[in-house]
Structure 1
Amino acid sequence: MADNDDASSRNSGPKPDGVQRLNELRIALLREVDEEGWTYCDPIKFHRNVCLVAGVGFFTDAYDLFAINIASTMLGYVYGHDHDSSCRPKLNLTQDLALKIATPVGTFFGQLFFGWFADIVGRKPMYGAELILMIVGTFSQATAGGGADHKYYCDADILAVHYYPISATISSEFAPTRFRGQMMTSVFAAQGWGNLAASIVAIVITVIFKGQISRDFPPGTCFSPSTLDHIDYLWRLLIGLGCVPGVIALYFRLKIPETPRFTMDVKRNVARAMADINGALHPTRGPNRNTAEQRADGPRATFEDFRNFFGKRDNFLKLFGAAYSWMAIDVAFYTLGLNSSIIFEAINFGASADVWETLYNICKGNLILSLAGLIPGYWVCFLFIETMGRKRIQLMGFAVLTVLFVVMAASFKALIPDRSPADDENVPAKTIVFVFLFCLANFFQNFGPNTTSFVLAGEIFPTRYRATAHGICAATGKLGAIFAQVIFRKLDPSSSRNKLALSFGVLSIFTMTGVFSTLLVPETKGESLEVLSNESQEGFMRAPQGEINVQDGIVIPLERLDGSS
């Protein structure tokens, strides 16, 4: 009886107007997305598929990044204009710098453009386009003809037209609040598998070509153009195989729906968002493809609105803190990641006078870094990101990296003896200690700011600027990567052990400043994206200009969230 009285009271009360009903439904839909549970064993499997498909981009990116590190030695043998102490060709400083900064330069512009464009046309349309460009760039690199070293640089720019902002926004906007950090980390952790795949592929193809390379370069043989064919095959295979996972994932990436947050907050179409949620999270109901294009008004992404939003002190400091933190870690990440082969040669780790053994040892060194530092770092971060929180992990990572780089710089002379490739091939125990510190630095990059900078930048901005702001943060990081390569080349650590020690000292300065920039970023653990956006959600949807009523098509029918009438 009481229930009937309550129902009668509700029905006899004042009816909400159309816009109020839209706001109520928007909040209900956001709550459904935020509270929807996910697990890798979930029978819906939607969130798992988002992680896998979004992760392919990071897999391919990391594969290419670390393949370039390995391929640079091979390219040096084939196209090098300089020679090492054994009179073997190598890339000169200008060639090596062009190779190492081609990808960050392309990434810088790609992240700005694709981030901005994803906030205009949507996440879904841009997601397939950038993967197609990545596949084309990789294939073009591998099939470069004459003057391949110059064409490689240009194709690296194409390859780098980039997916960071879109992968981050898609994974964050689809993720439930309780596991958003883990979902985004699992996407980003695909970098580790890409690094591992590049190392394994490099080792496999190097072993396959061992006989040919050994015959081409017996001890004491000089290099000549006629003996370089098999090494030329090596780097082409290594790079070209990187487009295979992208080709496989292209179909699935095109099938990912638009995120409901973009549909509601940018396209301002709550009805379509409800249909997409039903189709994605509740496939047994199926989306209503006949849903009308029913729109309300709301905050719009304009230059004036962007200036007003980020002109507020709190919002600007968030953007600055996230962007600078990303730059600080990318200086270290790209210095170590793109130059590990140079560092290994400088410390005589696995050094050899034999051409094939040199290539094999570089591949083996990168495999050690991947298994001992990079991959464990990603997945330890995955385990703790929802308990420790993003900000605490980032602060810890920057602090530990600062200490590690100072120790590596101060102890370099003591740990790395003067040796040449002709010396005893056994690696001294002191060198192993240094390699351990090197692996530890890689571990705390990923169980630290390399992962959390990606996650935080995808959480703390409003939907209409989420991809744009993430792109700004990521592009600022790539400025750090470019700066790191220029400084590393100016120091030329391959020519002096003292200069390599100085390089680690410079890295410690950047990671120390990252501690302070992290203090400007809020903790995002357990908070919804709407709360983190620093915007009031009350009355977010507004009536467009002119009079409206329910019959105008502005308001959608108040259907229950389970799709029933």
Structure 2
Amino acid sequence: MNTPDDPPQVGSQPASGPVSAGAERTRDRALWAAMLGMLLDGYDLSIMAVVLLPLHGAWHLHATETGLLMAMALFGSLLGGLAGGVLTDRFGRRKLLFPDIFLYIIGALVSALSPDLVLLFLGRFLTGLAIGLDYPLVATIVAEYSQTAHRGNRFAWVGLAWYVGALLSTGVGWLLLFSGSGSWRWMLGSAVIPALLLLWVRRDLPESPRWLARRGDTMAAREALMRLHPEYTSADLTTQLTLFQGSRQPWRRFLHRAWLRRLLLSLLPWFCLDVVGLGIGLYFPMVLRSNGLVGSDAGAAAVNAGFLMISALGIIYVLPRLDRWGRIPLQTAGFGMMSAGLALFALFSWTGWMAGVYLSAAIYTLGVGIGPGVTVFALAVEIFPTEWRASAAGLATGLSRLGAVFSAVLFPIFVKRWGIPLVLVIMAMVALLGMLATVVYRVESRQRSLEDLEEVTVPPVGS
């Protein structure tokens, strides 16, 4: 019998024979395909924080040029997210596994070889477009290829992969800083290597059985489900496919209040996270350097890596707990820590207490890791039907990137005009808004199957 703390398990994996090694490898490859996609995003965005250090001196960028450069990839991600979600729902999960990565490789090479700022803007836009296309695809793969009991854990692994990519790019950037004034070219070009690895990992993945079943292709859905779960009996397969088929819900139902609340839960917290996280994350090394908190570019990159590790440790802490504690409590607590950390950061940067600056930054980064850094990504896909899932994730990606563009363009301008303390106070208020939106629009997806989460009471279309 289900209780409020033990949600119904509609569509969970049937208890049948042992899992074959081949099926386990297929599921693991699906997870790695998602993780490496997220790693590439972490690598690409975070390498820019180090790229700015030599590039700023080599090309003598002013504040507006710096903001526009940082915003180009984010603007590309905005458009890519919106398009990628619709394309993933229209043509399937598998068909988009490779085109976006090829596009990313082209963008990375254009960026690395660009002779002027215009071509560098174009290269960064193309890499952002590719990553935006990949975001809703990655989120949907994790949701639809994972078992109910471990879905949160897999989302946490994917979130951790972002920080692994960010740390990796920071380490690579730090090493390449010593290669001369053109080091930024090698930094941008180095992203081709993880992109090529991602192409290899994504080979031969099956299409999502849920997507095939909802489209009415029962035979193909059955074959895909057998690849993922060869331990299922014929009765198990039939039961799962019946649950997966459900009934297609028209877009007009998305405008009903119940679904709009879910949409706001997926949009607002992620928007707030990117306004804060990208503003702080992209410019943190420069803030350290320009305020005399470190004595060299290499020192700024090293300190930045240390704070990324704190967020990664936060995700490691919640890895075994996300499916027990739930998304909403962790997201609420994480935003609260982010807001408190930023407020203290503002205070201590104003008073000049160095130890307080580092302590408050650690509180902020830990808050990102234990909550929003994972949960906004999960909630953007878990709480929507199969036929809308990637589109909803793409919409959330697009809006979050709009917030990131806003932050990337205006952060250096506001810092120059108002100073770091006031800008940090504003960021703390945005994080607080993310916490309030989480509480007001909360929908808990812990231990609930995707099919159970689709059960929302909405009047029939036309009534």
Q: Cα distance, 1:450 vs. partner?
A: 2.3
- In the aligned structure 2, how far is the partner of 1:398 from the partner of 1:196? 22
1:439 aligns with 2:357: no
1:507 aligns with 2:427: yes
TM-score, normalised to structure 1, is: 0.73
Q: 1:205 to 1:342 in 2, by over 3 A?
A: closer
1:363 aligns with 2:301: yes
- The residue number in structure 1 matching 2:213 is 264
Question: Contact between 2:143 and 2:151, CA under 8 Å: does it hold in 1?
Answer: yes
Q: 1:199 to 1:456 in 2, by over 3 A?
A: same
Q: Deviations along 1:2-30, whole A, 9 cap, x unmatched?
A: xxxxxxxxxxxxxxxxxxxxxxxxxx995
1:537-556, aligned counterparts within 5 Å?
A: none
1:164 aligns with 2:135: yes
1:183-332, aligned counterparts within 5 Å?
A: 183-207=154-178, 209=179, 230-232=180-182, 234-265=183-214, 267-282=215-230, 299-300=247-248, 305-306=250-251, 308-332=252-276
The 3-state SS of whatever aligns with 1:461 is coil
Aligned letter for 1:180? R
1:409 aligns with 2:329: no
- In the aligned structure 1, how far is the partner of 2:51 from the partner of 2:382? 36
- In the aligned structure 2, how far is the partner of 1:502 from the partner of 1:475? 27
Q: Deviations along 1:513-543, whole A, 9 cap, x unmatched?
A: 112211203000010101112358xxxxxxx
- The residue number in structure 1 matching 2:387 is 464
1:21-170, aligned counterparts within 5 Å?
A: 30-32=11-13, 44-80=24-60, 91-144=61-114, 146-147=115-116, 149-161=117-129, 162=132, 163-170=134-141
Tell which has more relative contact order, 1 or 2 (C-alpha 8 A, sep 6+).
Answer: 2
Question: Contact between 1:46 and 1:281, CA under 8 Å: does it hold in 2?
Answer: no
- The residue number in structure 2 matching 1:563 is none
- In the aligned structure 1, how far is the partner of 2:75 from the partner of 2:210? 31
Q: 1:42 to 1:518 in 2, by over 3 A?
A: farther
Question: Contact between 2:265 and 2:438, CA under 8 Å: does it hold in 1?
Answer: yes
Question: Contact between 1:111 and 1:164, CA under 8 Å: does it hold in 2?
Answer: yes
Q: Cα distance, 1:104 vs. partner?
A: 1.1
The 3-state SS of whatever aligns with 1:189 is helix
The 3-state SS of whatever aligns with 1:411 is helix
- In the aligned structure 2, how far is the partner of 1:206 from the partner of 1:36? 54
- In the aligned structure 2, how far is the partner of 1:283 from the partner of 1:114? 33
Question: Contact between 1:33 and 1:174, CA under 8 Å: does it hold in 2?
Answer: no
The 3-state SS of whatever aligns with 1:396 is helix
The answer for unaligned runs of 5 or more in structure 2 is 1-8, 234-243, 458-463
- In the aligned structure 1, how far is the partner of 2:197 from the partner of 2:123? 21
Range with greater deviation from structure 2 (527-536 or 51-60): 527-536
The 3-state SS of whatever aligns with 1:255 is coil
- In the aligned structure 1, how far is the partner of 2:17 from the partner of 2:406? 42
The answer for unaligned runs of 5 or more in structure 1 is 1-27, 81-90, 210-229, 286-295, 352-357, 417-429, 537-565
Question: Contact between 1:60 and 1:246, CA under 8 Å: does it hold in 2?
Answer: yes
Q: 1:300 to 1:42 in 2, by over 3 A?
A: closer
- In the aligned structure 1, how far is the partner of 2:383 from the partner of 2:19? 22
Question: Contact between 1:29 and 1:274, CA under 8 Å: does it hold in 2?
Answer: no
Q: Cα distance, 1:74 vs. partner?
A: 1.3
- In the aligned structure 1, how far is the partner of 2:27 from the partner of 2:323? 17
Question: Contact between 2:64 and 2:413, CA under 8 Å: does it hold in 1?
Answer: no
More helix by share: 2
Question: Contact between 1:34 and 1:528, CA under 8 Å: does it hold in 2?
Answer: no
Q: 1:530 to 1:325 in 2, by over 3 A?
A: same
TM-score, normalised to structure 2, is: 0.88
Q: 1:431 to 1:411 in 2, by over 3 A?
A: closer
Aligned letter for 1:508? A
The 3-state SS of whatever aligns with 1:387 is helix
1:399 aligns with 2:318: no
- In the aligned structure 1, how far is the partner of 2:220 from the partner of 2:189? 40
Q: Deviations along 1:209-232, whole A, 9 cap, x unmatched?
A: 3xxxxxxxxxxxxxxxxxxxx311
- In the aligned structure 1, how far is the partner of 2:434 from the partner of 2:18? 34
- In the aligned structure 1, how far is the partner of 2:456 from the partner of 2:447? 17
Of all paired residues, the percent bearing the same amino acid is 21
Range with greater deviation from structure 2 (242-251 or 164-173): 242-251
The 3-state SS of whatever aligns with 1:202 is helix
Question: Contact between 2:17 and 2:231, CA under 8 Å: does it hold in 1?
Answer: no
Equivalent residues, number: 435
Bigger-Rg structure (1/2) = 1
Q: 1:254 to 1:283 in 2, by over 3 A?
A: farther
1:477 aligns with 2:415: no
- The residue number in structure 2 matching 1:555 is none
Q: Cα distance, 1:433 vs. partner?
A: 3.0
CA-based RMSD of the aligned residues comes to: 2.6
Aligned letter for 2:411? F
Q: Deviations along 1:47-77, whole A, 9 cap, x unmatched?
A: 2222212111111111111111110121112
The 3-state SS of whatever aligns with 1:257 is coil
Question: Contact between 2:10 and 2:452, CA under 8 Å: does it hold in 1?
Answer: no
Q: Cα distance, 1:249 vs. partner?
A: 2.1
Q: Cα distance, 1:411 vs. partner?
A: 2.8
- In the aligned structure 2, how far is the partner of 1:34 from the partner of 1:175? 15
Match of 2:289 among 312, 329, 345: 345
Question: Contact between 1:59 and 1:192, CA under 8 Å: does it hold in 2?
Answer: yes
Q: 1:37 to 1:66 in 2, by over 3 A?
A: farther
Question: Contact between 2:273 and 2:372, CA under 8 Å: does it hold in 1?
Answer: yes
Aligned letter for 1:282? P
The 3-state SS of whatever aligns with 1:348 is coil
The 3-state SS of whatever aligns with 2:419 is helix
Q: 1:270 to 1:509 in 2, by over 3 A?
A: same
Q: Deviations along 1:177-219, whole A, 9 cap, x unmatched?
A: 0000111221222111111111111222234x3xxxxxxxxxx
Aligned letter for 2:94? K
- In the aligned structure 1, how far is the partner of 2:124 from the partner of 2:154? 29
1:518 aligns with 2:455: no
Aligned letter for 1:340? F
Question: Contact between 2:334 and 2:367, CA under 8 Å: does it hold in 1?
Answer: yes
The 3-state SS of whatever aligns with 2:206 is coil
Aligned letter for 2:381? G
Question: Contact between 1:322 and 1:521, CA under 8 Å: does it hold in 2?
Answer: no
Aligned letter for 1:349? L
Q: Cα distance, 1:34 vs. partner?
A: 10
Q: Cα distance, 1:320 vs. partner?
A: 1.2
| Deviating 4+ runs (over 3 angstroms) | 28-39, 296-301
Aligned letter for 2:299? N
